[in-house]
Chain A
Amino acid sequence: MTYLYCLVRAGRKPALRLVRDGLPGAGPVRALDAGGGLWLVVADVDEREYGEAAIARGLGDLDWVSRRAVGHEAVVERFLSAAAVLPMQLFTIFKTDERALEHVRADRGRIERILERTAGHVEWGLRLTWDEQAARAAVERAHEARSAHESGGVAYLARKRDMLDVSRTKLASARAEATRAFTDLSRRARDAVRRTSTEQAAPGSRLLLDAAFLVPAKHVTAFKSAVRQAEKRLRPEGISALLTGPWPPYNFIR
C-alpha cells in the first residue's frame, strides 16, 4: 500500500537522500510526480502493519499513535524549505501509487488554492500560560522591598490583600494582556488563528492563549524577536510563553 506523507511544490524532484525518518516499518521515502511542479511524498507500507484492522487496534494506544505521529511529522518537516508543503492527515493510505495520484488529481483545485495561500510561509505556535506562583512571588518581592519603611501590621494586611488580588483579578488582567499580544503579533503574520476551545476548556483556566501564526519565511526573524519583546513585557505579569515551530501550515489548511 502507498502511504502519503505530504504534497510538495517544487520546480524539480525534491531531494530525498537525507530523509531517513518516517513511519515505523514503512519503506524508504519516494516522490511521485503529479505534474505542474507538484510532488507526492510517499512510502510503501505493509497491510499487516497499516491495514484497517491494524490501525484500529493501534488507535487505542497513545504510544503507538505518538510514534507514528512523530515519524509522519519528521518527514513533512524535511520539506519545510520547499516552495510549499501540504501535510496530509495521519494514516492517509492508498492501495497503489496510481490511486494516490488519482485522488490528488481529483482534488487538484482545492489543493492549488491551499498551496497558493501557504506558499513561502511557515507556521509558529504560541502558547501563553499564567503562572500563579510567579505572580505570587512578584507580590512577595514587592512587599519585601516595601516592608522596610512600613509598620508590621499594615504591611501584613497589605500583603494579605495583594495575595487575594492575585487569585481574583490578576488572572483577568493577564487574559487581557494575552489578547493584546495576540493582536500585536497577528499584524506581523499573514494570518493568525486562536484556538479558543482549548483556552476555555475549564473555568479558571490558566491557558491564556493558544494561537498559530502563518509567518512569511523571510520575516521569521522579525516575528521571533517580536515574540521575545512580548515575552519580556508579559513576564512581570506572571505570564510565560512557549513558542514552537517552524511547523508546516497545519492550522491554515482550509
Chain B
Amino acid sequence: MSAARSRPTDAELVLGEDEATLLDIVDNVLSKGVVLTGDLTIGLAQIDLVYARVSLLLCAADRVMPGEPSEPMERQAVRHEVRVRARRARGRRAARG
C-alpha cells in the first residue's frame, strides 16, 4: 500500500459526521421546505448556486475521490466555516440522537 493511499484523502478531512449533518441542514432548508412565493423574490439562480455548492460537498465526488481537482482556497474556507457551524449543530443533535 502506498503512503498516498493510507493518508486520508482531502475529502475525508473536509467532511466528518458533524459536517455532513450541518450540510444536510443547509441542503434541506434551501431546497426542500414548503415553497410559498413570498413577497420577496430571491433570485432562484442564486439559491441554485448555493445549493449546487452544498450538494457538491455532500456528494460522493467530494467525499472520496482522491486527487480530484479542487479549488484549495475555497475548500479551506468552506472546511473552516462548516466546522464552526458544526460545533453548534452537534450538541443539539447528539442530545437527541
Contact = CB atoms under 8 A, between A and B. Distances in A.
A binds B: yes
B2 interface: no
Nearest to B35: A89
B60 A202 contact: yes
Interface string B48-74: 011001111011110111000000000
Contacts of A172: none
B34 A86 contact: yes
Nearest to A205: B60
Contacts of A55: 40, 42
Interface residues of B, number: 52
B40 A206 contact: no
Interface stretch (A9-17, A63-71, A150-158): A63-71
Chain B interface, DSSP helix/strand/loop, else mixed:
helix
B15 to A, nearest CB: 10
Contacts of B35: 88-89, 92
A202 B59 contact: yes
A221 interface: no
A51 interface: yes
B17 to A, nearest CB: 6
Interface in B2-29: 6, 17, 20-22, 24-26, 28-29
Contact of A207 (B22, B46, B60, B81): B60
Interface residues of A, number: 64
A27 interface: no
B92 A56 contact: no
Interface stretch (A141-149, A181-189, A230-238, A245-253): A245-253
A99 interface: yes
Which of B17, B64, B65, B77 is the most central at the interface, judged by chain A CB atoms within 10 Å of its CB?
Answer: B64
Contacts of A63: 81, 84-85
A25 B64 CA distance: 37
Counting from the closest, the 4 A-B pairs by CB-CB distance are A205-B60, A201-B59, A89-B33, A202-B61
Interface of A: 1, 4, 6-7, 50-52, 55-56, 59-60, 62-63, 65-67, 69-70, 72-74, 76-77, 86-95, 99, 103-104, 107, 111, 114, 125, 127, 129, 133, 136, 197-202, 204-207, 210, 242-247, 250-251, 253
Given A52-B40, A242-B20, 13 more contacts: A62-B50, A63-B84, A66-B82, A67-B85, A69-B29, A69-B30, A89-B29, A103-B36, A201-B56, A202-B64, A243-B97, A244-B20, A244-B21
